[in-house]
Structure 1
Amino acid sequence: MNTITRKNRRSRNKTPEITRLLLVMDALGLKAADIASKTKISERTINNFIWSDTPIGAQLLRELHAQYGISIDWLLSGTGAMLLGQANEPAGVYEVTSSNDLRVQRMCAFIQELMSSASSDEQAWLETHFKFSMRQYQQMLAAQNHEQK
């Protein structure tokens, strides 16, 4: 007699973002239930991010930042320090280099304007969107992370 069981969907090879979330939880001794009790995000949602290995939502990113002082930049890209108190540079400061190309100037101006008027959740969403929809952005983050090591 064969028993049919659900396949364990939790993979050992997590994306870097989820791996960093697990590092945060280990470093601070947190469980999904602990995070849920301090935030507006359910334990099930937090566990879903981990088990499904899906990108962390902007609301959870913002809450981890607000409640525990976790760097959103570190969670998304691995750059900088895990905790904001450990970093000497301000979080969320981006430098835009000048260019003679009008297209680049328009795009930089648009992103600068958007980031200056967007809420923290919207900023986290935009960066998450860039990270998962643009291979070049992922490569740039990886190169920056490699340079800092």
Structure 2
Amino acid sequence: MDTLGLKAADIASKTKISERTITNFIWNDTPIGAQLLRELHAKYGISIDWLLSGSGSMLLGQTNEPAGTYDVTPSSDLRVQRMCTLVQELMSSASPDEQALLETHFKFSMRQYQQMLSTTNQE
């Protein structure tokens, strides 16, 4: 908020999330809700990775955060097919907030996913 010169009231008016809710996140040091994460990302260009972990660049213009759309290569391995089907079903039925949280979870809990992103310059 300091970096962008924002107050809770400014964020509330632009995100339609109550000022009280935003203030509670700040003063009670509670995790930011998924809706506010997406709104801060969409309205102010703040990296969801940064919001969740505090690491990396805060603003999207300073990072290469992936857009969230990936092609899945078909495989003859049944295990791979099942996993791809599950991920596709999860992503197709999830809200944008849930999609962002699922991807962020993959990024921070699976070293292989992070490596894949860095080798394809989508980090």
TM interval, short-chain normalised = 0.5 to 0.7
Counterpart for residue 9 of structure 1 = none
Counterpart for residue 69 of structure 1 = 45
Alignment of 1:50-65 (within 5 A): 50-65=26-41
CA distance in 2, matches of 1:78, 1:105: 34
Please state how far the C-alpha of 1:108 moved relative to its aligned partner. Answer: 5.0
The answer (yes or no) to whether the contact 2:8–2:19 under 8 Å persists in 1 is yes
**What fraction of aligned residue pairs are identical, expressed as a percent?**
78
Which residue type is aligned with residue 122 of structure 1?
A: E
Alignment of 1:1-149 (within 5 A): 25-92=1-68, 102=79, 106-107=82-83, 109-126=85-102
Which residue type is aligned with residue 113 of structure 1?
A: E
CA distance in 1, matches of 2:48, 2:96: 10
Distance 1:81 1:46, change over 3 A: same
Distance 1:56 1:85, change over 3 A: same
Q: What is the number of residues matched between the two proteins?
A: 111
CA distance in 2, matches of 1:81, 1:140: 20
Distance 1:59 1:80, change over 3 A: same
Which residue type is aligned with residue 19 of structure 2?
A: E
The answer (yes or no) to whether the contact 2:47–2:65 under 8 Å persists in 1 is no
Counterpart for residue 121 of structure 2 = none
The Cα RMSD (Å) is: 3.4
CA distance in 2, matches of 1:52, 1:113: 35
Q: What is the DSSP-based 3-state SS (H/G/I as helix, E as strand, rest coil) of the residue aligned with 2:31?
A: coil
Higher Rg: 1
Q: Where does the alignment leave 5 or more consecutive residues of structure 2 unmatched?
A: 119-123
Which residue type is aligned with residue 86 of structure 2?
A: F
Taking structure 1 as the reference length, the TM-score comes to: 0.55
Which residue type is aligned with residue 47 of structure 2?
A: S
Q: Where does the alignment leave 5 or more consecutive residues of structure 1 unmatched?
A: 1-24, 132-136
